[in-house]
């Protein structure tokens, strides 16, 4: 039986030093701590997130969240409107939302201050807030990502035991695109669970159904991260239901199974990652589905900065998928979007070289982009 505990928090808005280049958010809000959906692979079970010990049954409700957020944004002197992800470590539309409406309250405040929003959920309850989400999309930018890891009901029930069925989630996408097409909406195939949801035939079915749903994109992560308590929780379920898969996980993640301690790698071996990434890229192309989300582009001095950063970060992502060097491109993009003035002005002053990681081929690439954008 789930227990809801209301708690006071000093701040509910998390500010990132660097924008998340997958989901494009500068900020994040977790309306709740803990999650009723109880997905066994959830990275939020890791020690670093300091979630409740009984992650899926002890749900912390952030008390008076609208007042807290309103005060934070009203007093903000250095914050500029940018993408707020809801959520990072818990589903914003889990069952607790039906009673407490923390997510809706946050959306009302974010709309008031003109902040774009990225919703990440498995729940059909997001449809309740289409009025707010559409208003945010029309004024700025709004994206709704629906996590779907498999089209197989039995596998989904094992991995995401209290979540809606995959088909119900696809129906959510269809309804959003039908009623509010201004909202960018797509599928997060995150994670692709090794040996369970990673077969080509199954992935092909996921892409086909995503295409049918009129989704705008399918963003994927080849493989699954494994950390401390999160890894132990997942492996305990794997050992109970699919014990024959434990040796394959030992090989992929480099460990010997011990139900008391996890000493393996965070990610599968690189050969697996490259193989699955290439498979997904081929499927994205076959089904004409973008594998990147179009980012929010502000209209202030950051406008060109963000356009160029998006190009560099997308190129870095492509390089990383196939095992090529990507760090220089990635950090050039991050440093450009963190500038406190327009890169156009720096170019005019002949000071592009002052931007960290902007040199040689990357510098010439950016100069070429600037020529195209500013002509």
Q: Dump pLDDT digits (tens) for 185-235.
A: 999 999 999 999 999 999 999 999 999 999 999 999 999 999 999 999 999
Please tell me the predicted confidence (pLDDT) of residue 356.
95
Contacts of 183 (CB under 8 A, 6+ apart): 130, 133, 134, 137, 142, 143, 144, 176, 177
Cβ atoms of residues 194 and 268 within 8 Å: yes
Query: What does the radius of gyration of the chain's CA atoms come to, in whole angstroms?
Result: 21
Q: Distance between CA atoms of 105 and 63, rounded to whole angstroms?
A: 11
Q: Distance between CA atoms of 358 and 218, rounded to whole angstroms?
A: 30
**% of residues, the chain, pLDDT over 70:** 100
Q: Which DSSP symbol is given to 295? A: P
Please tell me the predicted confidence (pLDDT) of residue 77.
85
CA separation, residue 117 to residues 43, 46, 98, 137, 234 (Å) = 22, 26, 20, 8, 30
Please tell me the predicted confidence (pLDDT) of residue 48.
83
Condensed to tens digits (0 to 9), the pLDDT of residues 66-120 reads 999 999 999 888 899 999 999 889 999 999 999 999 999 999 999 999 999 999 9
First vs last C-alpha separation in the chain: 62
Q: For the chain, list the domains and their CATH numbers.
A: 3-220+269-286 (3.20.20.70), 226-266 (no CATH), 303-374 (1.10.150)
Q: Distance between CA atoms of 333 and 329, rounded to whole angstroms?
A: 6
Q: Distance between CA atoms of 22 and 222, rounded to whole angstroms?
A: 14
Please tell me the predicted confidence (pLDDT) of residue 116.
98
CA separation, residue 20 to residues 36, 82, 103, 199, 202 (Å) = 25, 12, 21, 29, 29
Residue 79 neighbours by CB distance under 10 Å: 15
Please tell me the predicted confidence (pLDDT) of residue 54.
84
Please tell me the predicted confidence (pLDDT) of residue 297.
97
CA separation, residue 177 to residues 23, 120, 180, 353 (Å) = 19, 16, 5, 43
Low-confidence ranges of the chain (pLDDT < 70): none
Contacts of 105 (CB under 8 A, 6+ apart): 65, 66, 69
Contacts of 295 (CB under 8 A, 6+ apart): 24, 83, 306, 310
Closest-CA residue to 119 (of 287, 264, 293): 293
Q: Are strands 27-29 and 84-86 parallel, antiparallel or unpaired?
A: parallel
Please tell me the predicted confidence (pLDDT) of residue 280.
97
Report the greatest alpha carbon distance in the chain: 64
Q: Distance between CA atoms of 307 and 374, rounded to whole angstroms?
A: 12
Cβ atoms of residues 310 and 334 within 8 Å: no
**pTM of the prediction?**
0.96
């Amino acid at each position: 039986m789930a227990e809801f505990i209301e708690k006071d928090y000093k701040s509910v808005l998390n500010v990132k030093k660097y924008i998340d280049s997958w989901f494009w958010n500068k900020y994040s809000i977790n309306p709740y701590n803990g999650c009723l959906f109880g997905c066994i692979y959830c990275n939020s079970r890791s020690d670093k997130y300091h979630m409740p010990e009984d992650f899926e049954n002890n749900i912390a409700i952030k008390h008076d969240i609208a007042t807290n957020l309103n005060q934070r944004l009203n007093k903000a002197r250095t914050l500029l409107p940018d993408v707020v992800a809801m959520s990072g470590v818990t589903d914003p539309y889990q069952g607790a939302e039906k009673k407490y409406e923390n997510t809706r309250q946050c959306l009302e405040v974010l709309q008031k201050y003109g902040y774009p929003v990225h919703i990440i959920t498995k729940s059909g309850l997001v449809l309740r807030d289409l009025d707010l989400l559409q208003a945010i999309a029309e004024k700025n930018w709004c994206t709704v990502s629906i996590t779907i890891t498999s089209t197989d009901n039995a596998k989904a029930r094992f991995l995401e035991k209290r979540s809606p069925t995959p088909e119900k989630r696809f129906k959510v996408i269809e309804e959003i695109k039908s009623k509010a097409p201004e909202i960018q909406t797509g599928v997060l195939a995150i994670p692709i669970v090794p040996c369970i949801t990673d077969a080509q035939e199954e992935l092909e079915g996921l892409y086909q159904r995503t295409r049918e749903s009129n989704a705008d994109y399918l963003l994927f992560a080849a493989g699954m991260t494994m950390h401390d308590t999160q890894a132990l929780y997942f492996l305990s379920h794997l050992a109970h239901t699919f014990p024959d898969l434990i040796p394959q996980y030992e090989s992929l993640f480099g460990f010997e199974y011990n139900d008391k301690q996890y000493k393996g790698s965070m990610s599968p071996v690189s050969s697996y990652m490259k193989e699955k990434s290439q498979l997904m890229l081929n499927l994205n192309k076959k089904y004409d589905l973008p594998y990147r989300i179009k980012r929010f582009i502000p209209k202030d001095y950051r406008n060109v900065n963000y356009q160029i950063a998006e190009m560099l970060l997308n190129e870095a992502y492509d390089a990383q998928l196939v095992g090529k060097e990507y760090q220089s491109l990635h950090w050039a993009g991050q440093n450009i979007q963190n500038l406190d003035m327009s890169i156009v002005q720096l170019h005019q002053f002949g000071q592009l070289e002052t931007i960290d990681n902007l040199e040689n081929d990357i510098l010439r690439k950016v100069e070429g982009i600037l020529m195209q954008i500013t002509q």
